[in-house]
Amino acid sequence: MSSSRGRFTLMVLATTVLGLGVTACTPSNSQSPQTPGSFTTTTANPESAATSSSPTANTSATTPESSSSGSTTNTTPAPSPTASTSNIAATGPVWPIEPRTIAAAASGQGVPVLSAIRTGRHGSYERLTLQFTSSFGEANVRYVPVVHADPSDKAVPLQGLSFLQVVVHGAVAHWSATPITPYAGPSTVMPGYPTLKQVSISGDFEAVLSFGIGLDRTAGFQVTRLQSPARLVVDIAESPPWRMWPDDSLAMARAIQTSFDQGHMPWRGSGEGVVWSYALAVYGWSNPVVTRLPGTDTYRLTRQGSPEHVTVRAAPEFPTTSRNSIFEIADTR
């Protein structure tokens, strides 16, 4: 395995170029597989995201954004008022699961302070909105095996089976070293949605504000910066019909299979190769330890020097029609 990891790395990095070439010949409006850092997220107009209200600075709102009641809750943890509504999820879009970065915006008036944590359901996706009193710096969103508190590094307990970490630079909530009016809302909210289970503040140290998001699966997501007021929006897709990685659709998988049969992307021909690439693309682990559980298609991924791990399934996509089928990471998106 060690002699082939260098080739895997080059192949993972080349997937985007090859995928785009294949997709150009394939009727599909899905995105091609990407690697870390290849996503660009731009600032949207305020009108592009629905919100029910614009709370004043230093207030907390945990009501769903689709609600018009504008009620607030200051208890911890804070269940969503819609938790008793139907939990039947709509069909979601196929969104990427790789890390995302939002570039820093021009600084606004004073230190950006968290003013509201809101959640809402919008048909095919669920939304988390983090509102601030002014423009914040760079924001990073990625999957992690465990969310750690900053600066203690203790594990943050969260409901769910998969976890997103959100890090917002140049922003604060309660940090006493800054002369601000602190965030007055709950540090944890539990919407009880089909996918989005819990959101907790996990760090507030030296103007770096962190959050942990507990999800019921490794779901596709989108990240957007909104203005007036300053907001960071994380949209979580409901479960889509296609739940494989790295291909975005059956049409793309068929095209990749054809390319594989012609000698391209040999790493797609083994479960271990696809799992190793998944660890690099989704978790940023350049040299993971990959262990197959005997007698199964399940693999355990461990970061070098860390006890933390994730488990994934790698299955052949066309086992009955192709002698050497490409492999996909199953049960994701």
What is the set of domains in the chain, with CATH numbers? Answer: 2-33+246-330 (no CATH), 46-237 (2.60.40.3500)
pLDDT of residue 52: 33
pLDDT of residue 88: 61
- 179: pLDDT strictly greater than 90: no
| Strand, coil or helix: 237 | strand
Of the pLDDT bands very low, low, confident and very high (cuts 50, 70, 90), residue 108 is low
- 187: pLDDT strictly greater than 90: yes
Higher per-residue pLDDT: 42 or 103: 103
Higher per-residue pLDDT: 146 or 25: 146
- 109: pLDDT strictly greater than 80: no
Of the pLDDT bands very low, low, confident and very high (cuts 50, 70, 90), residue 180 is confident
Which of 11-20, 51-60, 278-287 is the most confident on average?
278-287
pLDDT tens readout for residues 293-306: 999 999 999 998 89
Of the pLDDT bands very low, low, confident and very high (cuts 50, 70, 90), residue 87 is low
Count of other CB atoms within 10 angstroms of residue 243: 18
Higher per-residue pLDDT: 67 or 102: 102
- 15: pLDDT strictly greater than 90: no
**Mean pLDDT over each residue of the chain, to the nearest integer:** 80
pTM for the predicted model, two decimal places: 0.76
Give the whole-angstrom CA distance, residue 329 versus residue 239: 15
Give the whole-angstrom CA distance, residue 308 versus residue 301: 9
Which has the minimum average pLDDT: 105-119, 148-162, 229-243? 105-119
Residue at 13: amino acid letter:
L
Strand partners, 140: 101, 167
Token couple for 168: 């917002």
Mean pLDDT to the nearest integer, 166-188? 90
pLDDT of residue 182: 92
Peptide bond into 179 cis (omega under 30): no
Count of other CB atoms within 10 angstroms of residue 117: 24
**Cα dist. 170→41, 133, 138, 212 in Å?**
19, 12, 8, 18
Give the whole-angstrom CA distance, residue 310 versus residue 303: 9
Of the pLDDT bands very low, low, confident and very high (cuts 50, 70, 90), residue 110 is confident
Q: Are 241 and 331 in contact (CB under 8 A)?
A: no
pLDDT of residue 86: 53
| Strand, coil or helix: 15 | helix
What's the DSSP call for residue 47?
Answer: G
pLDDT tens readout for residues 119-162: 999 999 999 999 999 999 999 999 999 999 999 999 999 999 99
- 328: pLDDT strictly greater than 80: yes
Run of H or E residues at 272 = helix 271-283
Of the pLDDT bands very low, low, confident and very high (cuts 50, 70, 90), residue 100 is very high
- 9: pLDDT strictly greater than 90: no
What's the DSSP call for residue 89?
Answer: P
pLDDT of residue 302: 95
Residue at 113: amino acid letter:
V
Percent of the chain past pLDDT 70, that is, above it, reads: 73
pLDDT of residue 7: 41
User: If 0-12 CB within 10 Å is exposed, 13-18 middle and 19+ buried, where does residue 181 land?
Assistant: exposed
pLDDT of residue 144: 98
Give the whole-angstrom CA distance, residue 117 versus residue 114: 8
Give the whole-angstrom CA distance, residue 249 versus residue 181: 48
Higher per-residue pLDDT: 81 or 194: 194
